[in-house]
């Protein structure tokens, strides 16, 4: 593939609203085909004709809805803390790269860790 062809393909992807590339370049939350955009407009027209104060169908370029509450759980942090607490109680630990190792330094498999908190091998 030549650089010119790659550039043309990239421009086509950037214009395509149904591709992840086009949606990301446009700053949208998710990709949407042109047919889906037409259905969103049709829904809005139907809702306006039927209801008194309809809410428009959310579009991918709209801001995401705000969450209620002041805290959002940090799932990755909670999981890391639990893993560290469990690993500290066994002869299996995680090294700096997150790989499981036995106390003698050999690598361990994920299967040696059981939900009960002990080791299989």
- Dihedral Cα 103, 109, 112, 115, nearest 10 deg: 110
Q: Where are the domains of the chain?
A: 3-50, 92-121
Cα separation, 100 vs 37, whole angstroms: 48
User: How much is the pLDDT for 111?
Assistant: 56
Question: What is the tally of helices (H) and strands (E) in the chain?
Answer: 4, 2
The pLDDT value given to residue 26: 86
pLDDT tens by residue, 76-92: 777 777 777 776 666 66
State the average pLDDT over residues 2-17.
90
Condensed to tens digits (0 to 9), the pLDDT of residues 22-65 reads: 888 888 889 999 999 999 999 999 999 999 999 898 888 888 77
Report d(CA 10, CA 16) in Å as an integer.
Answer: 10
pLDDT at 121 over 50: no
Separation CA 3–CA 26 (nearest Å) = 23
């Amino acid at each position: 593939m030549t650089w010119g062809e790659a550039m043309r393909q990239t421009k086509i992807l950037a214009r395509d609203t149904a591709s992840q590339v086009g949606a990301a370049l446009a700053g949208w939350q998710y990709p949407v085909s042109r047919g889906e955009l037409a259905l969103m407009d049709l829904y809005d027209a139907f809702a306006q004709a039927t209801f008194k104060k309809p809410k428009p169908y959310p579009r991918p370029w709209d801001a995401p809805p705000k969450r209620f509450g002041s805290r959002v759980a940090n799932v990755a942090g909670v999981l890391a803390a639990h893993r560290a607490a469990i690993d500290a109680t066994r002869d299996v630990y995680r090294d700096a790269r997150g790989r499981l190792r036995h106390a003698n330094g050999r690598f361990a498999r994920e299967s040696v860790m059981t939900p009960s908190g002990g080791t299989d091998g």
